[in-house]
Amino acid sequence: MNLSILVPLLVSVITAATPLLLAATGELVVERAGVLNLGVEGMMLVGAICAFAAMFITGSPILAMLAGAAAGAVLSALFGVLVLTLASNQVATGLALTLFGLGLSALMGANFVGHPIVPLAKLAIPGLSSLPVIGPLLFSHDALVYLSVLMTGAVGWFLNHTRGGLILRGVGESDTSAHSIGHDVIRIRYYAVLFGGAMAGLGGAYLSLAYTPMWVEGMTAGRGWIALALVVFAAWRPWRVLAGAYLFGGVTVLQLYAQGSGFVLVPTQFLTMLPYLATIVVLTLMSSGSVRSRLAAPACLGKPFRPVS
Amino acid sequence: MEGNLSQTTLTAGHTAGTDERLDLRGITKRFPGVVANADVSLAIRPGEIHALLGENGAGKSTLVKIIYGILQPDEGEVRWNGTPMIIPNPHAARALGIGMVFQHFSLFEAMTVLENVAIGLDSPEKPSKLAERIRGVSAAYGLPLDPLRDVHTLSVGERQRIEIVRCLLLEPKLLIMDEPTSVLTPQEVGRLFETLRKLAAEGCSILYISHKLAEIKALCDRATILRGGRVVGGCDPKVETASSMASLMLGAQIKPLARRATTALGPSRLVVGGLDLPADTPHGIGLRGISLDVRAGEILGIAGVAGNGQNELFLALSGERTVETPGTIMIDNTRVGHLGAERRRALGLCAVPEERNGHAAVPEFSLVDNAVLSGHRREKLLAGGLIRAGRALDFATRIIKSFDVRTPGPGAAASSLSGGNLQKFIVGREILQKPGVLVVSQPTWGVDAGAASAIHAALLSLTSEGSAIVVISQDLDELLAISDRIAVINVGVLSAARPTASVSLEELGLLMGGMHEADVAKAASPEREMADAP
């Protein structure tokens, strides 16, 4: 395989991985704060349609990306009110959020089906982009690709090297301890949930603005579930999420190439099933106490917190 | 007594701001349906170790939460160095120089000592510098602590040191200790007291909350006694006798347990031989070679510092965890090691777990339903898979009557009962089933003295009917009062049981702290060894 095939192949791996990476990085922060939001798929879809609509109406890619992030955050705020303020069951609420996002995005997108938009521009970095091989591979992407990697790095740094990250981890590890020390558990969890929502919205925006620049109902095709699974398989470590997202992107792209060349490794239906299989595996793993502690899951993950004074 | 105290407060009023560090005046705090603190006044001087003495539910925790800014008083005034203050939250309290060591530690298991300290500080600090300061403080106050260790690898005593160091780094003017010794070995208690005395000598005030009279006599300069949310007296614990403080605290003279004369014991009813049980969680404790033998009419006490395998031992005895070799556990000569809780119950082994809500009882269920859950077989509450409602109601009512459970009725939800009342109900539920063997974990944890003595009396009267009882408890006083023999569990290994009458507190402490029996025997006097020999 020569470079002229390999470089576009690797570039498509990066684009396939980016929506996963954005959504999974956001969900990682949410889960490190002790909240399990299973509504990633729904927030991605609403992010996708809002970004697409903003792009179609205003033509501004920046407004479009902001709209995607804001839409995800708004949906997650709804989740936050139910789960944090009203202390509802996180699993049930998250599932409901996905169903809600699915329906809402279909409704909002009814008039946008089949319309074209200008895809997100590739940002060329002066000097670097003209390098052979490395240039097209690493330095000729759109803003969201760079942002996804930067955010993963930033989240890793935030969690492990800042006081805010320490408190966030503390809230996820022992909500009662954090409360008795005087940290506002609910407020910190709201921040985390909103951040996760915005990142999921951006992940969706990437799909409708860059990956396939159009709106199709249910266009996330289970990527939200893959993102959830990635967080668990990465054992809640940002850099492993990055590796996992790129690995999964690679699998997707290989499968497409293999199909295109008439060589079918695995029937495509299996790949379509994968998000749901992965979700079942993850939810099964998470319901086992011993697996949770072996994976070093945040100890308060999924447990509602009611401050008692 | 009340006169005494108001005089103290009056003095504080005259010399406002000069010699009282913390001065509470007329603090009142109401919760729906209950007045937790009523007109409480309390003054603490610099360098003073002041005891706050009271039973569970006397209002100690509420008062302390007000001082630490977790709660706000409805009435009254908090003065700090003579200035009236409102302490809106714990951050503000720490900024004033108030530190608190919680009874249930506010620690994060999966984090390092360093991170646990950092998260409790109000301003960020460079990790390397902070680690240096932690080492410095822990060396200065004799609290050895490695900043880079993960908390879940530490013992309870070490964990408490983290809390204390976290406070000391703030250079506190007032340190609040909430029941600090309930989970420590006697030796660790001694070390803690040295640290506290050193702190006090440097001018730090200490508010020491406890209901252990001996500790207060040994440590504190002054004591304020709370009962039912009110200050009922203040005294100098060095002068006062333990029993006079106790009667103030309890409001009435509690009659000491009548230790029954050791009657002739019957045959062995519960025999465990060489029980091994691997830990089921990474942080759990595995049981190794546990052997014990309890005879009819006997109470075997199992002491130990929390988290040394007590839970695992309880689960193994009750049948919630089983072993493959049936012969390792025998009830009345029947091999039961492989049988689950239900089958063991049928053979006469009833069990009362430590956790009331969620383990012993379903909080949302009524008392009747909770009675059916454990008593259906022995009390014949089922017929053809259906619940015999009349019999079940009758059983629940009998428990409530015979154990004086204060509740609106048998239809009340378990969660609506106070801790002590629910505990009486749960213990009563098992005792009324007339078990041949009863395994009880922490029978009086968080229960007021009245309920505790009722539970103790019930256990003792059960033995006179020929039952064998195992009591697992962290409360040494309790074990010394009711058990015939005592064994100590440490890191999943159970020491040989010794007759209570011939065992000393020091020996128990050494065993609880992980000293081996041989070493303990060496440390004990040779006469004692002779006496122990049968």
How confident is the model over B76-92, as pLDDT tens digits? 999 999 999 999 988 89
pLDDT tens-digit map of B202-229: 999 999 988 777 788 889 999 998 888 8
* Res. B499: pLDDT tops 50: yes
Interface contact flag, A299 B119, Cβ < 8 Å? no
CA distances from A141 to A4, A119, A120, A220, A254 (A): 17, 12, 9, 21, 20
Chain A residue with Cα closest to B93: A182
Establish if A299 belongs to a structural domain: no
Q: Is residue A128 part of a domain?
A: yes
Distance in angstroms (rounded) separating the CA atoms of residues B316 and B335: 14
How much is the pTM?
0.72
pLDDT in tens, B324-352: 999 999 999 999 999 999 999 999 999 99
Task: Report if residue A290 sits inside a domain.
Answer: yes
For residue B375 the two structure tokens come to 């008593």
> What are the structural domains, with CATH classification, of chain B?
268-348+435-532 (3.40.50.300)
Cβ-defined contact of A174 to B69 (cutoff 8 Å): no
Q: Is residue A305 in some structural domain?
A: no
Report DSSP letters for B364-384, one per residue.
TSBHHHHHHHHHTTTTT-EET
**Closest A-chain CA to B90:** A182
Mean per-residue pLDDT, A46-61: 95
Lowest mean pLDDT among B80-89, B231-240, B275-284: B275-284
* More confident call, B36 vs A197: A197
Question: Å from A186 to nearest chain B CA?
Answer: 15
Is A306 among the domain residues?
A: no
Percent of chain A whose pLDDT exceeds 90: 61
Put simply, the chain B residues between 282 and 301 with a CB less than 8 A from any chain A CB are 282-283
Say if residue B17's pLDDT is above 80. Answer: no
pLDDT at A211: 93
Q: Is residue A304 part of a domain?
A: no
Greater pLDDT, B95 or B416: B95
- 3-class SS of residue A286: helix
Asked if B65 and B71 count as a contact pair (C-beta separation under 8 A), the reply is yes
Comparing B62-66, B449-453, B465-469, B506-510, the range with the smallest average pLDDT is: B506-510
- pLDDT-based confidence at residue B260 (cuts at 50, 70, 90): low
For chain A, which residues lie within 8 Å of any Cβ of chain B, measuring from their own Cβ? 162-163, 166-167, 169-170, 173-174, 176-178, 180-183, 289-290, 293-294, 296, 299, 309
How many CB atoms neighbour CB B277 within 10 A? 21
Contacts 24+ apart (CB under 8 A), A3-6: A3/A133
pLDDT > 90 in chain B, percent: 46
Q: What confidence tier does A265 reach under pLDDT thresholds 50, 70, 90?
A: low
Model confidence band, residue B189 (pLDDT cutoffs 50, 70, 90): confident
Least confident span in A71-85, B243-257, B277-291:
B243-257
pLDDT at B13 over 50: no
- Residue B99 touches partner A, C-beta closer than 8 Å: no
Contact across the interface for A166 and B102, Cβ inside 8 Å: no
Angle of helix B127-140 versus helix B156-168 axis, rounded to 10? 110
Q: Which of B248, B211, B241 is nearest to B227 (CA)?
A: B248
CB contact under 8 Å between A173 and B106, yes or no, is no
What average pLDDT does the structure give for chain B? Answer: 84
Query: Could you read off the pLDDT of B462-496 as tens digits, one per residue?
Result: 998 899 999 999 877 788 889 999 999 988 899 99
User: Any chain A CB within 8 A of the CB of B357?
Assistant: no
Q: What is the mean pLDDT of residues B360-382?
A: 92
Tell me which chain B residues have a C-beta less than 8 angstroms from the C-beta of A163: 118, 124
We report the CATH number of the domain holding residue A25 as 1.10.3470
**Long-range contacts at A234-239 (CB < 8 A, ≥ 24 apart):** A234/A24, A234/A28, A235/A295, A235/A296, A236/A28, A236/A31, A236/A32, A236/A295, A236/A296, A236/A297, A236/A298, A237/A156, A238/A25, A238/A28, A238/A152, A238/A153, A238/A155, A238/A156, A238/A159, A239/A152, A239/A156
- Minimum mean pLDDT among A69-78, A99-108, A151-160, B401-410: which range? B401-410
Tell me if A293 and B118 make a contact (CB, 8 A cut-off).
Answer: no
> Would you say residue B105 has pLDDT above 50?
yes
Q: Which of B90, B104, B109 shows the shortest C-beta gap to A182?
A: B90
Which carries the bigger pLDDT value, residue B450 or residue A104? A104
pLDDT digit string, tens, across residues B447-469: 777 788 889 999 999 998 899 99
User: With 80 as the cut, is the pLDDT of residue A307 above it?
Assistant: no
Contact B111 A169 (CB under 8 A): yes
What is the distance in angstroms between the Cα of A74 and the nearest Cα belonging to chain B?
Answer: 30
Contact list in A for residue B120 (CB cut-off 8 A) is: 181
Q: How would residue A264 be classed by pLDDT, with cut points 50, 70 and 90?
A: low
Contacts of A127 (CB under 8 A, 6+ apart): none
Residues B119, A178: C-beta atoms closer than 8 Å: yes
Q: Rounded to an integer, what distance in angstroms lies between the CA atom of residue B365 and that of residue A153?
A: 49
Q: ipTM for the complex?
A: 0.82
Selected for mutation to probe chain B from A31, A176, A181, A301 (highest B CB count within 10 Å) is: A181
Tell me whether residues B102 and A296 touch, CB distance under 8 A: no
Q: Quick check: B527 pLDDT over 70?
A: no
Q: Report chain A residues whose CB lies below 8 A from the CB of B89.
A: 182
Residue B210, classed as helix, strand or coil, is strand
Residue B534 has pLDDT above 80, yes or no: no
Assign A171 a pLDDT band (cuts: 50, 70, 90).
very high
- A177 contacts B108? CB cut-off 8 A: yes
> How far is B25 from B77, CA to CA, in rounded Å?
5
Q: B415: which chain A residues are within 8 Å (Cβ-Cβ)?
A: none
- Residues of B whose CB is below 8 A from A309: 65, 70-71
Average pLDDT over every residue of B517-527: 52
Dist. CA B400–CA B428, nearest whole Å? 8
Whether the CB of B279 is below 8 Å from some CB of chain A: the reply is no
Structure confidence at residue B7 (pLDDT): 39
Q: Which residues constitute the domain of residue A71?
A: 3-294
Q: Is the pLDDT reported for residue B35 higher than 90?
A: no
**Torsional sign, CA A109, A110, A114, A115:** negative
| pLDDT at residue number B252 | 54
Across B376-395, average pLDDT: 92
Instruction: Report the gap between the CA of A181 and the closest CA in chain B (Å).
Output: 6
Judged by DSSP in three states, A138 sits in helix
- Tell me if A180 is assigned to some domain: yes
Mean pLDDT of A117-140: 83
Cβ–Cβ of A181/B119 closer than 8 Å? yes
Collect all residues with Cβ–Cβ distance below 8 Å to A198 and sequence separation of at least 6.
A26, A69, A70, A72, A73, A76
Find which of A176, A177, A288 to mutate to test the B interface (most B CBs within 10 Å of its CB).
A177
Q: pLDDT of A63-91, one tens digit each?
A: 999 999 999 999 999 999 999 999 999 99
Q: B106 vs A181: CB contact, 8 Å cut-off?
A: yes
Number of domains forming the structure of chain A: 1
Residue A245 has pLDDT above 90, yes or no: yes
| Pick among A162, A174, A292, A309 to test the B interface (most B CBs inside 10 A) | A174
Query: Shortest Cα distance from B37 to chain A (angstroms)?
Result: 14
Q: What is the mean pLDDT of residues A18-28?
A: 97
Interval B132-148: pLDDT, tens: 999 998 888 888 888 99
Residue B237's pLDDT is what?
86
Which residue, among B61, B119, B176, B321, would best test binding to A if mutated, counting the most A CBs under 10 Å from its CB? B119
Q: How far is CA B270 from CA A15, B297, B324, B471, in A?
A: 67, 12, 18, 13
Here the contacts of A50-55 (C-beta below 8 Å, separation 24 or greater) are A50/A108, A50/A201, A50/A205, A51/A201, A51/A204, A51/A205, A51/A208, A51/A209, A52/A109, A52/A112, A52/A117, A52/A205, A52/A208, A52/A209, A52/A214, A52/A215, A53/A108, A53/A109, A53/A112, A55/A117, A55/A118, A55/A208, A55/A209
Radius of gyration of chain A (CA): 19
Predicted local distance difference test score (pLDDT) of residue B14: 37
Q: For residues A164-180, give the mean pLDDT.
A: 92
CB-based contact, B532 to chain A, within 8 Å: no
**More reliable by pLDDT, B15 or B341:** B341
Q: How wide is the angle at C-alpha B533 spanned by C-alphas B529 and B534, nearest 5°?
A: 160
- Going by pLDDT thresholds of 50, 70 and 90, the confidence category of residue B283 is low
Nearest to B108 among A173, A182, A289 (CB): A173
3-state class percentages of chain B: helix first, strand second, coil last, to nearest 5? 40, 25, 40
Mean pLDDT of B144-157: 85
User: Is position A307 within any domain?
Assistant: no
Contact B89/A182, CB-based, under 8 Å? yes
Q: Cβ contacts (< 8 Å) between A169 and chain B: which residues?
A: 108, 111, 115
Write out residues 29-68 of B within 8 Å (CB-CB) of A: 65
Tell me if A163 and B118 make a contact (CB, 8 A cut-off).
Answer: yes
Mutate to test the interface with A, among B98, B101, B108 (most CBs of A within 10 A): B108
